């Protein structure tokens, strides 16, 4: 009986939430909530294209309520940034430098909102003291979504060192990291990384491997 | 301090502790983020409260934290207290704040032209750099530069009522700050989050 009541309460809460959001801002919320998930799936089915890693991560961010999206632009992450900018669910904060994002996400978390920091791996280098002296000691959780450079197919010698140092740096800071190598594992790794971040009250990093997303061509 | 302190006071030069005290009395409900160094020491000296977020390292991130907080809590007044050293460490934060433009953010830079805690080495604001001009150049529209306590008091009425984001550069004297806030970051974080929810 208790279990049934719990399900009923959750069902009513979710329905109320959806109805409230739709009435609150009909056009955008309807588009945002219903269209986003169903539309993506239907569009993919119609076109014959499978869900991309961008689609999957986008849905996981919404499901897990990671609303504040801090980023310095990067070509691999560009489609995800564009989708977030087009969706009023997200507050997108374009940064001048990745370390700012550690501060912005700290302030957002203190204010009760979750988020993520998207960057190319070179930006991790720019974030180190923010992570070490703010996120870690103050126990501020967020997701870090990092596109890999310096591994497979790299043309730019200046990218290699930070690309290789990234994981040892995170290990030195005791920040957990996972690597997305196949599209079929993106959903589970993303969900799992987010869950652990908020349990540990610490950032967790997800690397987008070059084997999954491809590598930048010289032109 | 002695005669020199009195001379500065007579000329109306802002004392950081006095100005912080006045600010807290005029904005008792505000959430206040204080950067590393004397900004947070003087905030603690006005009387430690849960709605003070004291930053113990990460110089430069005070305005970024204030931005995130202002975006997450648009109905609350958010105040950032920082020094010229912190602003110079992360000038890009001024740009990001200008782009996001949260109206509930008031960012005060206590400018004494030096890194006071490390022995008073001069910063660029002592000679060549104008933080107010940098702020306007970054795209901030509501910028004020004050050098006396009466300018600060008059200005504060505007900065707390007119929509921002506001950037105020306040030239201050060289008084050190003897008070010390709580040191435990997790304690600071948890009670601050509780204060946000009140």
What does the alpha-carbon distance between residue A138 and residue A47 come to, in Å, rounded to a whole number? 47
Asked if residue A29 has pLDDT above 50, the reply is: no
CB contact under 8 A, A110 and B90: no
State pTM to two decimals: 0.88
User: Chain A residue closest to B101 (CA)?
Assistant: A93
CB contact under 8 A, A96 and B67: no
CA-nearest of A125, A167, A168, A119 to A144 is: A119
**Spatial contact of A187 and A46, defined as CB atoms under 8 Å apart:** no
Indicate the domain borders of chain B. 2-175
Residue of higher predicted confidence among B87 and B9: B87
Q: What's the confidence (pLDDT) of residue A175?
A: 98
Q: At A208, phi and psi to the nearest 5? A: -95, 105
Give the strand pairing for A143-147 and A114-120: parallel
What's the pLDDT tens digit per position in B15-68? 999 999 999 999 999 999 999 999 999 999 999 999 999 999 999 999 999 999
**10 Å Cβ neighbour count for A41?**
13
CB contact under 8 A, A103 and B56: no
- A81 Ramachandran zone, left/alpha/beta (phi>0; psi -120 to 50): alpha
CB contact under 8 A, A100 and B64: yes
Q: What's the confidence (pLDDT) of residue B28?
A: 98
What does the alpha-carbon distance between residue A212 and residue B27 come to, in Å, rounded to a whole number? 52
Quote the strand ranges of A5-140, DSSP E. 66-71, 91-94, 114-120
Contacts of A85 in chain B (CB under 8 A): none
CA distance B129 to chain A (A): 20
Among the partner residues A100, A110, A113, nearest to B192 by beta-carbon distance: A110
Q: What's the confidence (pLDDT) of residue A183?
A: 96
Q: Average pLDDT, whole number, for chain B?
A: 94
Angle, vertex CA A84, rays to CA A78 and CA A90, nearest 5: 145
**Spatial contact of B146 and B169, defined as CB atoms under 8 Å apart:** yes
Q: How confident is the model at residue A40 (pLDDT cuts 50, 70, 90)?
A: low
Mean pLDDT for A118-130 is 98
Angle, vertex CA B162, rays to CA B161 and CA B166, nearest 5: 105
Q: Identify from A65, A69, A100 which residue to disrupt to test chain B contact, counting B C-beta atoms within 10 A and taking the largest count.
A: A100
Mean pLDDT for A167-179 is 98
The residues of A whose Cβ lies within 8 A of any Cβ of B are 68, 91, 93-97, 99-113, 129-130, 133-134, 137-140
CB contact under 8 A, A96 and B66: no
Radius of gyration of chain B (CA): 16
**Spatial contact of A193 and A206, defined as CB atoms under 8 Å apart:** yes
Among the partner residues B62, B99, B189, nearest to A110 by beta-carbon distance: B189
What's the pLDDT tens digit per position in B103-147? 999 999 999 999 999 999 999 999 999 999 999 999 999 999 999
Q: How confident is the model at residue B10 (pLDDT cuts 50, 70, 90)?
A: low
**Spatial contact of B60 and B86, defined as CB atoms under 8 Å apart:** yes
Burial of A196 (0-12, 13-18, 19+ CB in 10 A): middle
What does the alpha-carbon distance between residue A123 and residue A77 come to, in Å, rounded to a whole number? 13
Contacts of A139 in chain B (CB under 8 A): 185-186, 189
Indicate the domain borders of chain A. 1-49, 51-213
Q: What's the confidence (pLDDT) of residue B16?
A: 96
What's the pLDDT tens digit per position in A78-89? 999 999 999 999
Candidate ranges A5-19, A205-219, B153-167; pick with highest mean pLDDT: B153-167
Q: How confident is the model at residue B1 (pLDDT cuts 50, 70, 90)?
A: very low
CB contact under 8 A, B57 and A134: yes
What does the alpha-carbon distance between residue B142 and residue B136 come to, in Å, rounded to a whole number? 8
Q: At B106, phi and psi to the nearest 5? A: -120, 120
Among the partner residues A110, A137, A139, nearest to B196 by beta-carbon distance: A110
What does the alpha-carbon distance between residue A132 and residue A11 come to, in Å, rounded to a whole number? 41
Fold that domain B2-175 belongs to in CATH: Rossmann fold (3.40.50)
CA distance B20 to chain A (A): 21
Domain A51-213 is of which CATH architecture? 3-Layer(aba) Sandwich (3.40)
């Amino acid at each position: 009986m208790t279990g049934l009541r719990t399900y009923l309460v959750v069902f009513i809460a979710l329905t109320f939430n959806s109805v409230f959001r739709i009435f609150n801002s009909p056009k955008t919320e309807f588009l945002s909530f219903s269209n986003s998930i169903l539309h993506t799936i239907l569009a993919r089915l119609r076109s014959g294209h499978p869900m991309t890693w961008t689609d999957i991560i986008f849905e996981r961010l919404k499901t897990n309520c990671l609303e504040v999206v801090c980023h310095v632009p990067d070509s691999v992450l560009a489609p995800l940034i564009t989708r977030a900018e087009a969706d009023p669910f997200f507050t997108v904060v374009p940064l001048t430098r990745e370390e700012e994002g550690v501060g912005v996400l700290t302030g957002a978390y203190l204010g009760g909102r979750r988020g993520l920091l998207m960057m190319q791996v070179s930006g991790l280098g720019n974030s180190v003291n923010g992570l070490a002296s703010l996120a870690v000691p103050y126990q501020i959780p967020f997701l870090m979504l990092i596109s890999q450079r310096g591994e497979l197919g790299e043309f730019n010698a200046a990218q290699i060192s930070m690309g290789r140092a990234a994981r040892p740096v995170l290990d030195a800071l005791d920040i957990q990291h996972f690597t997305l190598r196949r599209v079929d594992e993106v959903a589970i790794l993303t969900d799992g990384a987010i869950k652990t971040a908020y349990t540990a009250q610490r950032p967790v990093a997800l690397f987008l491997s070059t084997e999954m997303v491809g590598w930048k061509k010289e032109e | 301090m002695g005669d020199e302190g009195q001379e500065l006071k007579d000329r109306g030069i802002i004392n950081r502790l006095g100005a912080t005290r006045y600010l807290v009395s005029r904005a008792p409900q505000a959430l206040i983020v204080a950067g590393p160094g004397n900004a947070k020491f003087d905030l603690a000296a006005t009387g430690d409260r849960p709605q003070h977020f004291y930053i113990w390292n990460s110089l430069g991130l005070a305005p970024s934290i204030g931005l995130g907080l202002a975006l997450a809590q648009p109905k609350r007044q958010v105040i950032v207290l920082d020094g010229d050293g912190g602003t110079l460490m992360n000038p890009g934060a001024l740009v990001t704040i200008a782009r996001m433009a949260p109206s509930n953010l008031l960012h005060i830079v206590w400018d004494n032209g030096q890194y006071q805690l490390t022995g008073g080495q001069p910063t660029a604001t002592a000679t060549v750099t104008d933080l107010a001009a940098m702020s306007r150049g970054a795209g901030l529209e509501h910028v004020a530069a004050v050098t006396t306590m009466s300018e600060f008091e008059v200005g504060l009425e505007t900065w707390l009522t007119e929509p921002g984001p506001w950037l105020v550069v306040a030239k201050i004297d060289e008084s050190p700050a003897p008070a010390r806030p709580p040191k435990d970051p997790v304690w600071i974080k948890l009670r601050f989050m509780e204060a946000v929810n009140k």
